[in-house]
Amino acid sequence: MDQNRIKQLHDKYYRGETTEEEEKELFESSNNEALNAENAFYQATKLLELPDSFDEDLKIILHQDRGGKIRRIWPELSRIAVVLFIGILIGVLINNSKKSYQTTMQEVVTIALADQHSVHMRLKGLELAAQMPVLEEELLNSLTNLLNNDENVNIRIAALDLLMRPKNDNIETTLFDALFQQESILVQSIIIKYLLALEDPKIKEAIWDKLENAALDEQRKKQIRSLIRI
Amino acid sequence: MKYILIAALTILSLNLGMGQSRQRADQLKPLLKKGELPLTLKERRVIMDFEIPLTKGYLKGKLNVDSKFSRISVRGKDQDFVAVEVVDLSTLNEQYASLDSARWLKTQPKITYTENNNEVTISDISNAPTGLLISISVPNKFAAKLETGHENIFVFDLVGEIEADSKEGNITLTRIDGSIIASSIDGNINAYYKDVSPLYPNALSSIRGDVKLLIPPDASVNVSLSSVMGKVYSDFKLRTHNKNNTTKERKIKTIALGMREASIGINTYSGNINIYNTAKQ
């Protein structure tokens, strides 16, 4: 086909005046990409052409399976949401249970430490407290109370060891005060060891000064002085 | 007829229920007994038994002995009662009996007792050395709290929690299967474990007395020991570390046996600490 004929058909095509035969002739002979693409699109739309019974068929399908694909997506989304919700819930519960476990442990330990009838129970309380990652203020106060007032030396020593474990800003004051509240030289000697380990350059002098006026017998003062020198 | 039957059954069940609660109330009513052991110059020996009500716990009861000037001996036995025998040791030696009569009259030993269900308390309230031995046998699963000032404490074959304190007296605990918390100022503490209970921790401390510990090699225990001025010996391998991992803090030595389920802490000031393997003794 010559170029003039193609041009002629082309112009006629865009004017919308071509017959079916002419269009066929035009597409077969043309290398025009735009036309070819248009033709392809046209053919595709013909394939997608809905049958006349489409509306009726759709109504039947919708009646059988309400929502179709959209309905099928919802269960997936809700399933994901449920999983997420359970995950969040578990996370919250674990976190809360950790907190409540710690709280329960703190309560159990505090009760055990206050058991005046059983020294075994108090020592058990101290053993449990040693396993706790954090000692709350109330528990630290209980330990200080045991260090200064418990009737049993073993309890005082165990409380002292435990007081030294957490980062406690008041530990030096606690130990310094406790030093002069002890009857047992054994407990005093351990307190001095811990006080010296804090490496406060003024601590020796402070103990020395307080020792001068402390209500202790001379023998005990001498023992404490020798411990400070060590 | 049907209603009469229902009413009769209701009344019957109510009566049964009330009867049971009355029975329980009777069982729970404390059986409090208290008094003074009838020690006389002539006899200078007294024996008294205390029935121990049956209990479902692993321990059958508790014994408390508080004595400043009398020796205490407690022995666990396969029995369901507590037997207390107080004897003036001088009566066992005729040579000194007459001399001790004068001492007896001067001291006038006085020992009281209290029994409250499954807890027996013996108190020697004498105010001078008595020369008495308070010897007590208890069910072998029994707790004991023993306190003495100047005399010794002996305990044998007991399963349970033992608390023992003395000022000058020695504390000797033999074939113990349980937990011990013991402290002394000038007395030695000797503890021979048959087994170490993980139920409660153990702690032994003496200021000037020595602590001697015998433990079976198959025990599952962690022993931590520290002495300010005393020496430490062990049949088992000792490890040294600082209590809180700083350089100047007190040094603690430890012995780890088995799974380390139980724990024993030992502290002395000038007393020595000796740990022995019972298999080698």
DSSP annotation string for B58-74 = SS--EEEEEESSSEEEE
Q: Which residues of A touch B247 (CB under 8 A)?
A: 197
Cβ separation B249–A185 shorter than 8 A? no
ipTM metric: 0.80
Residues of B in contact with A116 (CB under 8 A): none
Percent of chain B past pLDDT 90, that is, above it, reads 57
Helix or strand run (H / E) with residue A70: helix A68-113
d(CA B46, CA B110): 12
Q: Look at A37 and B167; give whichever has higher pLDDT.
A: B167
Q: Do B132 and B87 contact (CB within 8 A), yes or no?
A: yes
- Residue B108 Ramachandran class (φ > 0 left, ψ -120 to 50 alpha, else beta): left
B chain contacts of residue A166, beta-carbon cutoff 8 Å: none
Q: What is the mean pLDDT of residues A20-42?
A: 68
Place of tokens 């502290």: B267
Q: Which of A219, A216, A171 is nearest to A196 (CA)?
A: A171
Residues of chain A in contact with residue B249, where contact means CB-CB under 8 angstroms, are 164, 193-194, 197
Residue with tokens 């003024």: A202
pLDDT tens-digit readout, B164-189: 999 999 999 999 999 999 999 999 99
Q: Cα separation of B146 and B72, whole Å?
A: 8
Contact B83, B49 (CB under 8 A): yes
Question: Given an 8 Å threshold on Cβ–Cβ distance, is A154 in contact with B250?
Answer: no
For residue B28, what pLDDT is reported?
44
Model confidence pLDDT, tens digit, residues B205-256: 999 999 999 999 999 999 999 999 999 999 999 998 765 555 456 788 999 9
Structural contact between residues B261 and B221, judged by C-beta atoms closer than 8 angstroms: yes
A119, B201: Cβ pair inside 8 Å? no
CB contact A204 to B (< 8 Å): no
The residue among A118, A146, A154 with the most chain B CBs within 10 A of its CB, best to mutate, is A154
State the average pLDDT over residues A61-86.
67
Mean pLDDT, residues B43-66: 83
More confident residue, B155 or B25: B155
Q: Where does residue A44 rank: exposed (0-12), middle (13-18), buried (19+ CB within 10 A)?
A: exposed
Q: Which residues in chain A are closer than 8 Å to B243, comparing Cβ atoms?
A: 161, 164
A223 is written with which tokens? 């023992």
Across residues A137-155, what is the average pLDDT? 93
Report pLDDT for B129.
80
CA count, 13 A, side-chain hemisphere, A11: 5
CA distance B199 to B182: 17
B228 φ/ψ angles, rounded to the nearest 5 degrees: -70, -50
Tokens of B273: 């600490």
Record: contact A193-B268, CB cut-off 8 A: no
pLDDT of amino acid A67: 53
> What's the confidence (pLDDT) of residue A35?
61
Closest CA of chain B from A87, distance in Å: 36
- Spatial contact of B200 and A158, defined as CB atoms under 8 Å apart: no
- Which two tokens mark A81? 């949401």
DSSP, res B205: E
Non-local (6+) Cβ contacts of B68 within 8 A are B124, B126, B127, B148, B149, B150
Q: What is the mean pLDDT of residues A124-145?
A: 89
For residue A182, give the nearest of A227, A140, A137 by alpha carbon: A227
Q: How far is B269 from chain A (nearest CA, A)?
A: 5
Mean pLDDT along residues B77-82: 92
CA gap B192, B171 in Å, rounded: 11
- Taking an 8 Å cut-off on Cβ atoms, the answer to whether A124 and B207 are in contact is no
CB B272 within 8 Å of CB B232? yes
Question: A189, B205: Cβ pair inside 8 Å?
Answer: no
Pick from B114, B102, B119, B120: nearest CA to B44: B102
Touching check for B98 and chain A: CB below 8 Å? no
